[in-house]
Structure 1
Amino acid sequence: MVVKAVATQFNGGQTEIRRNSYVENIEDIEEIISLAKKYQSIIAYTIVISSLKEYLDKRAKEEGIVAVDLLNPLMNAFKTAFNKEPHHRPGLMRKLDEEYFRKIEAIEFAVKYDDGRDPRGITKADIVLIGVSRTSKTPLSMYLAHKRFKVANVPLVPEVPPPDELFHIPRKNCIGLIISPDKLNEIRKERLKALGLASQSNYASFQRILDELDYAEKIMKRVGCPVIDVSNKAVEETAGIIMDMLKKERNL
């Protein structure tokens, strides 16, 4: 993109650009030097391995080829400003790109398997969240997705049997979310108010809440999953607890 931006200042960007990725040894550099000499080209490079950079500079000078280091001036500015040495490791940008695409994949997964829409997601998920309505399942799913976890969530409703898949996954993959009846009553009343509905609706009635929580507790015991009380926890706090659980499981 830098080369293209410069080229547009001279001839409308019609310069032919040849990319040579994964330059990892002297043989790769010799091939590029040969091509640049043959076609009377400029070499613009982003090599971070010091020995290869020095070799390219030396060979380009010997062959009378203009070689421009696109990274070093900015690298030196970072070094001075932050008083840190660069890693000088190639491929770190590709690693960042891979992490970005994993995050996008996890977000798409969370959307697809939100609110029990498709029980097939349960067996594919890194984490399955279960709980009654308004226990922050969806916000938690999205937050964890941004941390690159594939999350499915399943609402527990007395009138709807939980999907069979829930009882055939490793217990450590499932997390139960519980909440105090008073807190849930308060949240549901606010939700109804936001929707312009009567706060006396069965959805927010205390007895209905107690019945739902009792049912959810039985399902969680049957699954045998760890349970987190989200009554007074922010989404970030609950997510932190879940990620700590996963780390402990992996270290066992």
Structure 2
Amino acid sequence: MDYQYYVFIVSDSLGETASHVAKAAMNQYLNKNYIVKKYNYVRDADAVKEIVVEASKHKSIILFTTVMDDLKRIIIDECDRFKIQYHDILTPILDQFSQFFDDKPMATPGTMYKLDDDYFERVAAIEFAVKYDDGKDMRGLKHADVVLLGISRTSKTPLSMYLSHKNIKVANVPLVPEIPLAKEIFQVPKHKLIGLTNSPEKLNEIRIERLKALGLSSDVEYANYDRILQELEYADRVYKQLGCPIINVANKAIEETASIIMEITGLNTKFK
């Protein structure tokens, strides 16, 4: 495929900061034919020159994050030499904080990803979410920061994984009318329980697409509209029995639903 626009992301570390900023901006231009080329751990002049030469072959913009003044100067000089548009993502905010703190930054690459207690807590939370996903082991519920309940395709697993990256230990349990509720659910404090639901129309659409992806016929009970209504009614009864808050995930991004969950449960203080 021939791309009309090239977005180069250059970083002296992982490049996640530049990637997220670029994605947020580029999502406003989904009608454009562009490709993103990412270069991380770029810390010397030769590497910069190779990247800029490659960028000069296309209609390009270079977004970069570096705390190394010498490297920043090289990137800017090379971009100017080849007349390539560029944007320095970090320097403006570092300058603001230098004024705010009346101090200079450390200028040490990769400090965002140092192996500190926060990092190991995040790894533990991710491992927890995987271990206690989809009701695999009910014994984990008592150790969870939050327990998500919901019928199939109500975003339990994506939410669990997203929240785990915020250092939150999440277990999730599927609700099926034919399977009695596990006794461990009733032992979870109410403030840790969250019920998830969705619109029947959205569930029908999602389940049909899921079956197609698996190469299965959509003409099965799993995607049957009446069956979906039955499951939703059952879930509502469970939520009322447990007295837990309910979030309708229809037309909500994972990030939005996760933010609501953290607010309801008071876990927003753990946001990283």
Shorter-chain TM-score bucket reads 0.5 to 0.7
Would the alpha carbon gap of residues 236 and 94 (structure 1) be closer, same or farther in structure 2, given more than 3 Å must change?
closer
Cα distance in 1, alignment partners of residues 119 and 183 from structure 2: 33
TM-score, length-scaled by structure 2 = 0.59
Q: Which amino acid aligns with 2:182?
A: P
- Once the two structures are TM-superposed, the CA of residue 80 in structure 1 deviates from its matched residue by 8.3
Matched, 1:116 2:135: yes
Name the Cα RMSD after superposition. 2.7
Local SS of the residue matching 2:217: coil
> Which residue of 2 is the match for residue 134 of structure 1?
153
How many residues are paired up? 175
Q: Which amino acid aligns with 1:242?
A: I
Matched, 1:183 2:183: no
The letter of the residue matching 1:124 is H
In 2 relative to 1, CA 141–87 (structure 1 residues): closer, same or farther, beyond 3 Å?
A: same
- Pairwise CA distance, 1:137: 0.2
Give the Cα–Cα distance (whole angstroms) in 2 for the partners of residues 125 and 205 of structure 1. 33
Decide which structure has greater helix share. 1
**Alpha-carbon shift at residue 170 of structure 1 (Å):** 1.1
Equivalence for 1:105: 124
Question: Could you tell me which residue of structure 2 aligns to residue 210 of structure 1?
Answer: 229
Counting aligned pairs with the same residue, the percent is: 57
* Change beyond 3 A, Cα 1:131–1:74: same
Q: SS in structure 2 opposite 1:176? A: strand
How far apart, in 1, do the equivalents of 2:182 and 2:266 lie? 27
Take 1:97 and 1:197, find their aligned partners in 2: how far apart are those partners? 46
2:113 & 2:197 partners in 1: Cα distance?
A: 40
Partner Cα separation in structure 2 for residue 80 and residue 132 of structure 1: 47
Q: 1:164 aligns with which of 183, 205, 220?
A: 183
Q: Which residue of 2 aligns with 1:246?
A: 265
Aligned CA distance change for structure 1 residues 80 and 174 (closer, same or farther; 3 Å)? closer
| Distance change (3 Å), C-alpha of 1:96 and 1:115 | same
Report if aligned partners of 2:125, 2:169 keep a CA contact under 8 Å in 1: yes
Gaps of 5+ in 1: 1-72
Could you tell me which amino acid in structure 2 is paired with residue 235 of structure 1? I
Q: TM-score, normalised by structure 1?
A: 0.63
**SS in structure 2 opposite 1:130?**
strand
Greater strand proportion: 2
Question: 1: CA distance between counterparts of 2:104 and 2:115?
Answer: 16
